[in-house]
């Protein structure tokens, strides 16, 4: 029932918009209920027949007619990778709703509608195995996210929303060109027009166009990830987005870029991916270092977390383009762990902003004394971000470094420096915001500590990180070899 999940989220968004007139908290309840329903549908999505028909990796799969003119079908399926990311999407969606339960004052119905529609697009991206459908979902999640930032963001929201949309959209159009180019290469070779991922695997092998087509995909994925030098939309979008928007942006939307790299780059272009590995690895290592350094020099709470995301997602690039099974698994674990930890940090940043109306580190300070629970959670999640053993991020980064050191030692050594830098900016953020004497912003306003809803949301995320850090084997088993090349699928 993967299509059911997408449709439930789309419909739930519509209901949330209408629910606004039935009471102040109705949209929030609808949104939460929809996410629970979607999670139940996901839990029920276990079709034993699929494994037999599609291949042992697949947990669930379904296909619908769509546009036979171009050989386009609505082909949806999840393996371990898809399942983990869809689950992460729904979990972070729930956390985002809980965290901003009272934050949204104007048009809460529309706000939660846009939130659910974004999540619907993201779930579609993680399930779609037809490249046309993938592109459609890819674009669909952008439009509501644009409205979330532009409509409910902070002071400079218009510009940030526009920048976000333009970057990702132009990247997406290049990907569309590459998709169509790949499909036509396949047609010229076989005579059949098909957008199915399974049919197109390796279709470009041997073609002089392959590196160019791969580059089209990579631009879209690296913009979304984001990687240096295509990252400049991210700090603005994160800083200006409302809390729930930031959580979903960092936790889910960035993962679509990483997912694209894992799922499509190597299986579709096994040769070209190796040919382009060196420049892409350089981009990954540069992202780790540059993101970390810039995170260290920011004054804005949210910008610190935003730049740290660039650094952490650099590890994903490294893990995918090391072409090593361990590194690839590490990249996926890193995506999940970063989704949880950065979601939590944006949530905390939002909580600070909501209480003190500033994110400026110079104005903060001494928060721990006033709001000890907030401080404790900040310490926990910053420790996760700096890669403390026992938490999920450590597992991801360690596996990436372990795997990539075997094949790409130089890039691995450079990226390992990023771990040092992340300790620096994480501890600096903790000291400037939570330790020391009370900052000027605290002088005027009372600082209520985290309430029950926020504690619940953060507690869930913390538990997830602990589980991922202490019991990584469960997720690693689920991922299996994480998309072997080529991936088996349904018969065309």
Partner 1 sequence: MTAADLVAMAPLAALAAGVLVLLLAIAARRDARLAWAVTGATVVAALAMVVPAVEVAPRAVTPLLRVDGLGLLGVVLFLLGSLATVPLAARHLAARPGPVEEFPLLLLLATLGAATLALATHVASLLLGLELLSIALYALIAYPDRGRRPLEAALKYLVLSGVSSATLLFGAALLYAESGTLAFAGLVPAAGTGSVLTTAGLALVLAGLAFKLSLVPFHQWTPEVYEGAPVPVTAWLATVGKGAVVLVLLRLLAESGALARPDAVLLLSVLAGASMLAGNLLALLEDDVRRLLAYSSVAHLGYLLVALLLVDAAGGPQLGTEAALVYLLAYGVTTFGAFTVLEERSAPGARRQHGAALGSEEDFDDGARERFRGLFRRRPAVALAFTVMLLSLAGIPLTAGFVGKFYVVAAGVEGGLWALLALLVVGSGVGLFYSLRLVHLMTLPVDAPSGADVPGRGGWLLGGLTVLVLVLGILPEPVLALVRAALAY
56 touching partner 1, by CB under 8 A = no
How many CA atoms lie less than 13 Å away from 417 in the CB half-sphere?
15
Round to whole Å and give the CA distance between 222 and 219.
Answer: 5
Q: What angle do CA 465, 469, 473 make, to 5 degrees?
A: 120
CB-nearer residue toward partner 1: 180 or 388:
180
- Report in angstroms how near the CB of residue 173 gets to partner 1 at its nearest: 5
296 touching partner 1, by CB under 8 A = no
| CB distance 392 to 337 below 8 Å | yes
| 161, 214, 395, 412: which one binds partner 1 (CB under 8 A) | 161
- Report in angstroms how near the CB of residue 251 gets to partner 1 at its nearest: 23
| 181, 480, 484, 486: which one binds partner 1 (CB under 8 A) | 181
Round to whole Å and give the CA distance between 327 and 150.
Answer: 37
- Report in angstroms how near the CB of residue 148 gets to partner 1 at its nearest: 11
Closest CA to 419 of 336, 301, 318, 321: 318
CB-nearer residue toward partner 1: 22 or 64:
64
Q: With the CA atoms of 376, 378, 381 and 383 taken in that order, what torsion angle do they form, in degrees rounded to the nearest 10?
A: -80
205 touching partner 1, by CB under 8 A = no
CB-nearer residue toward partner 1: 213 or 265:
213
- Report in angstroms how near the CB of residue 150 gets to partner 1 at its nearest: 5
| 3, 33, 70, 456: which one binds partner 1 (CB under 8 A) | 70
3 touching partner 1, by CB under 8 A = no
> What tokens does 78 get?
């999840």
173 touching partner 1, by CB under 8 A = yes
CB-nearer residue toward partner 1: 133 or 228:
133
CB-nearer residue toward partner 1: 120 or 419:
120
14 touching partner 1, by CB under 8 A = no
11 touching partner 1, by CB under 8 A = no
CB-nearer residue toward partner 1: 84 or 142:
142
Task: Count the residues of the shown chain that bind partner 1, applying the rule CB under 8 A.
Answer: 29
| 27, 151, 314, 319: which one binds partner 1 (CB under 8 A) | 151
67 touching partner 1, by CB under 8 A = yes
| 15, 78, 88, 150: which one binds partner 1 (CB under 8 A) | 150
Site for partner 1 in 123-142 (CB under 8 A): 135-136, 139-140
CB-nearer residue toward partner 1: 132 or 323:
132
- Report in angstroms how near the CB of residue 127 gets to partner 1 at its nearest: 16
| 24, 44, 64, 158: which one binds partner 1 (CB under 8 A) | 158
170 touching partner 1, by CB under 8 A = yes
CB-nearer residue toward partner 1: 146 or 264:
146
CB-nearer residue toward partner 1: 119 or 285:
119
147 touching partner 1, by CB under 8 A = yes
| 48, 49, 68, 446: which one binds partner 1 (CB under 8 A) | 68
Round to whole Å and give the CA distance between 326 and 336.
Answer: 16
192 touching partner 1, by CB under 8 A = no
CB-nearer residue toward partner 1: 174 or 282:
174
Using CB atoms within 10 Å of the CB of residue 155, give its burial: 0 to 12 exposed, 13 to 18 middle, 19+ buried.
exposed
69 touching partner 1, by CB under 8 A = yes
What is the 3-state secondary structure of the chain? Answer: CHHHHHHHHHHHHHHHHHHHHHCCCHHHHHHHHHHHHHHHHHHCCCCHHHHHHHCCCCCEEEEEEEEHHHCEEEEEEECHHHHHHHHHHHHHHHHHHHHCCCCCCCCHHHHHHHHHHHHHHHHHHHHECEHHHHHHHHHHCHHHHHHHHHHHCCCCHHHHHHHHHHHHHHHHHHHHHHHHHHHHHHHHHHCCCCCEHHHHCCCCCCCCCHHHHHHHHHHHHHHHCCCCCCCCHHHHHHHHCCHHHHHHHHHHHHHHHHHHHHHHHHHHCHHHHHHCHHHHHHHHHHHHHHHHHHHHCCCEHHHHHHHHHHHHHHHHHHHHHCCCHHHHHHHHHHHHHHHHHHHHHHHHHHHHHHHHCCCECCCCCCHHHHCHHHHHHHHHHHHHHCCCCCCHHHHHHHHHHHHHHHHCHHHHHHHHHHHHHHHHHHHHHHHHHHCCCCCHHHHHCCCCCCCHHHHHHHHHHHHHHHHHHHCHHHHHHHHCCCCCCCCCCCCC
- Report in angstroms how near the CB of residue 69 gets to partner 1 at its nearest: 5
CB-nearer residue toward partner 1: 169 or 205:
169
165 touching partner 1, by CB under 8 A = yes
CB-nearer residue toward partner 1: 125 or 277:
125
CB-nearer residue toward partner 1: 187 or 453:
187
Report the interface residues with partner 1, using CB under 8 A. 65-70, 135-136, 139-140, 143, 146-147, 150-151, 158, 161-162, 165-166, 169-170, 173-174, 176-177, 180-181, 184
């Amino acid at each position: 029932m993967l299509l059911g999940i997408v449709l439930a989220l789309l419909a739930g968004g519509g209901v949330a918009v209408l629910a606004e007139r039935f009471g102040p908290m109705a949209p929030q309840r609808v949104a939460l209920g929809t996410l629970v329903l979607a999670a139940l549908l996901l839990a029920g999505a276990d079709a034993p027949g699929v494994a037999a028909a599609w291949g042992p990796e697949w947990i669930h799969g379904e296909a619908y007619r769509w546009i036979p003119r171009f050989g386009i079908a609505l082909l949806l399926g999840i393996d371990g990778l898809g399942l983990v990311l869809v689950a992460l999407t729904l979990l972070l969606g729930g956390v985002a709703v809980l965290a901003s339960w009272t934050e949204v004052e104007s048009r809460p119905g529309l706000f939660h509608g846009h939130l659910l529609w974004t999540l619907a697009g993201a779930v579609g991206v993680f399930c779609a195995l037809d490249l046309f459908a993938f592109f459609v979902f890819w674009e669909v999640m952008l439009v509501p996210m644009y409205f979330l930032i532009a409509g409910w963001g902070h002071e400079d929201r218009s510009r940030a929303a526009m920048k976000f949309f333009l970057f990702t959209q132009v990247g997406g159009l290049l990907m569309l060109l590459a998709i169509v180019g790949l499909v036509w290469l396949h047609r010229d070779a076989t005579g059949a027009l098909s957008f199915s991922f399974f049919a197109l695997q390796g279709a470009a092998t041997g073609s002089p166009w392959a590196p160019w087509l791969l580059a089209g995909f990579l631009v879209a994925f690296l913009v979304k990830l984001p990687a240096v030098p295509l990252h400049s939309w991210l700090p603005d979008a994160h800083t200006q987005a409302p809390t729930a928007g930031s959580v979903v942006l960092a936790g889910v939307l960035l993962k679509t870029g990483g997912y694209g790299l894992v799922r499509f780059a190597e299986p579709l272009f096994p040769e070209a991916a190796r040919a382009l590995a060196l420049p892409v690895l350089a981009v990954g290592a540069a992202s780790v270092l540059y993101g970390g350094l810039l995170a260290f020099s920011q004054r804005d709470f949210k910008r610190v977390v935003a730049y740290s995301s660039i650094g952490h997602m650099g590890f994903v690039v490294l893990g995918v383009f090391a072409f090593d099974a361990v590194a690839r698994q590490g990249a996926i674990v890193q995506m999940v762990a970063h989704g949880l930890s950065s979601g939590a940090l944006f949530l905390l940043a939002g909580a600070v902003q909501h209480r003190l109306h500033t994110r400026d580190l110079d104005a903060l300070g001494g928060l721990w004394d006033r709001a000890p629970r907030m401080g404790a959670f900040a310490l926990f999640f910053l420790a996760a971000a700096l890669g403390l053993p026992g938490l999920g991020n450590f597992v991801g980064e360690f596996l990436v470094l372990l795997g990539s050191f075997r094949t790409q030692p130089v890039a691995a050594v450079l990226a390992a420096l990023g771990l040092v830098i992340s300790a620096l900016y994480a501890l600096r953020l903790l000291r400037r915001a939570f330790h020391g004497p009370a900052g000027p912003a605290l002088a005027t306003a009372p600082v209520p500590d985290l309430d029950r809803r926020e504690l619940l949301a953060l507690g869930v995320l913390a538990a997830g990180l602990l589980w991922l850090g202490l019991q990584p084997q469960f997720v690693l088993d689920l991922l299996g070899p994480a998309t072997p090349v080529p991936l088996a699928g349904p018969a065309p």
